[in-house]
Amino acid sequence: MRINRGRDLCLVGLTARADLRMVPLICDFLCGTAGTLGIGDDDVNRLRALTEEVCRYVIENSFDPGDDGRFHLTLLRGADVLKLVVEDRGLPVLFDENAPLDRSQAPLLALRAYADEVRFHNLGKQGKRLEFSCRLDAGTIEQILENTHPPSSNVVTSDENITLRMITSDDVVSVSQCIYRTYGLSYYRGYLYQPAMIAAMLDGGKLDSCIAVTDSGRIAGHLAILYDGPDARVCETAMAVVDPCFRGRHLFEKMKAMAHERASARGLYGLYSDAVTVHPYSQKSNLALGARETGVMLAYLPDRMLFRNISESETQARQSNILFFMRACPIPPSDVHLPGHHAGVIEEIYGRLELPRRAVVAGNEVFESARGFRTQFNLVHKSETGLVFLQIHSYGSDALLIVHNHLRDLRQRSDVDCIYLDLPLREPLTALLCQGMESFGFFFCGVMIEHDRGDVLRLQYLNNIVINAADIKVASDFGQKLVDYVLGQRERIVKNSI
């Protein structure tokens, strides 16, 4: 069962058999943990009494004699409270504080004597949940914080010799371990915790990683090169990870330079990537290697991402990323059809990359070219991260309707936070239909270089996501200009939709 912890910090949790003989052991475990984290003796004794009574209540009232029942307990720390949460999938009960006291409610109502606040949640087929809150004094909270978030100076650094090389199938377990040492279990690409899936991507030609390896065989850093397909002219660098024990040795820059050499040797036009904005370090490294900003993807990373020894805790909101492109082999010239209201910023992006692009103005007669044709598109939903990519490959007369209908449906889904719309700049209709797409709520994101047989204009839509501009840390003046432009476009679109 899933507990909605909000901003509470989970101290410990356990699942127990519904057996009265387990109660003393449960009390010892929870109270011992609380005492270790600095909670005072009086509050620990109160927790022990509460835990004992709650366990007895659940065992005696949620399961029939002979049932092989289980229940789950979680100890949480809030801003000024200690919380005990108990969940089970046993017998349904009725709990109404305002109803007359009867024999069925008496044991449950009596539990209020052990806590400052009691909440009961009927979860239907998922069972039921009891939440008990006990207020703590300020001194205790300071002790808990001190013990829960040890300073990063406690991290043991290593001076082992490190060698860079390309990944082999023998490295996949070590890669997963490197991800864990850096992000715990919070990294948004969950398949990286499954070595077999990494091996399958490697065998299938979809992944070709640069790794930094110590003499003892431990992977200190990892940078993936991802290929969209055998005909792709650019590739993505992603999953950049440096073990906290080996930070400060410029491993990211070295691995990125190695990836650039790999792309050049294969005749690729370049590498694109995205850098987090929770800190500016990876942005600075990209800039130093010659990569340039091409866009800003607001709210791209899911919440609960833990940057070990960089940020003090898990992020509590979705994080934005800066798009980068790094040239490798010469890129041939091409014509692009730019929407007039975005032409200035797109041409500046091209200029910083020194790309041979010629802006062409299309007339209304190009609408006739789409008449009688259906829009060719692809929809990719990455449910684990709450992202959807709607990629237009070619236009038909139904283009606006296609986008409108998909957006209408996606907005209703709880597992969709951000929707990205890719429009091909090689197509004249992109310049003419962009504002129509923006009337649905999409706004400027950036340019993807050589992404789909040419450059792509990416728009974005945030599905009830709040953005705090102060959380976006940027490493360059142009990066800040791009962030301001994207936020300004979002504000413009929001105002026009009111």
Residue 262 has pLDDT above 80, yes or no: yes
Region of poorest pLDDT, from 13-27, 155-169, 362-376: 362-376
Mean pLDDT over 41-65 rounds to 89
Residue 395 has pLDDT above 90, yes or no: yes
- CA 467 and chain centroid, separation: 14
Nearest residue to 374 via CA among 393, 349, 352, 351: 393
Per the CB < 8 A criterion, the answer to whether 270 and 486 are in contact is no
Say which residues have a Cβ less than 8 Å from residue 219's Cβ, sequence separation at least 6.
171, 174, 175, 177, 178, 211, 212, 213, 243
Which range of 48-57, 123-132, 350-359 scores highest in mean pLDDT? It is: 350-359
AA letter at 10: C
Region of poorest pLDDT, from 16-30, 266-280, 356-370: 356-370
Residue 425 has pLDDT above 80, yes or no: yes
What is the pLDDT at residue 327?
Answer: 96
Higher pLDDT, 125 or 356: 356
What domains can be seen in the chain, in order of their start residue?
Answer: 9-148 (3.30.565.10), 156-327 (3.40.630.30), 334-497 (no CATH)
Strand partners, 131: 85, 119
What is the pLDDT at residue 413?
Answer: 92
pLDDT per residue over 294-353, tens digit each? 999 999 988 755 555 555 444 457 899 999 999 999 999 999 999 999 999 999 999 999
Round to whole Å and give the CA distance between 120 and 128.
7
pLDDT per residue over 199-255, tens digit each? 999 999 899 999 999 998 999 999 999 988 778 899 999 999 999 999 889 999 999
The whole-chain average pLDDT of the chain stands at 86
Which range of 27-31, 89-93, 117-121, 439-443 scores highest in mean pLDDT? It is: 439-443
Mean pLDDT over 45-63 rounds to 91
pLDDT per residue over 352-365, tens digit each? 999 999 999 877 77
What is the pLDDT at residue 285?
Answer: 92
Q: Where are the alpha helices (DSSP H) in 305-438?
A: 343-353, 367-370, 399-411, 428-438
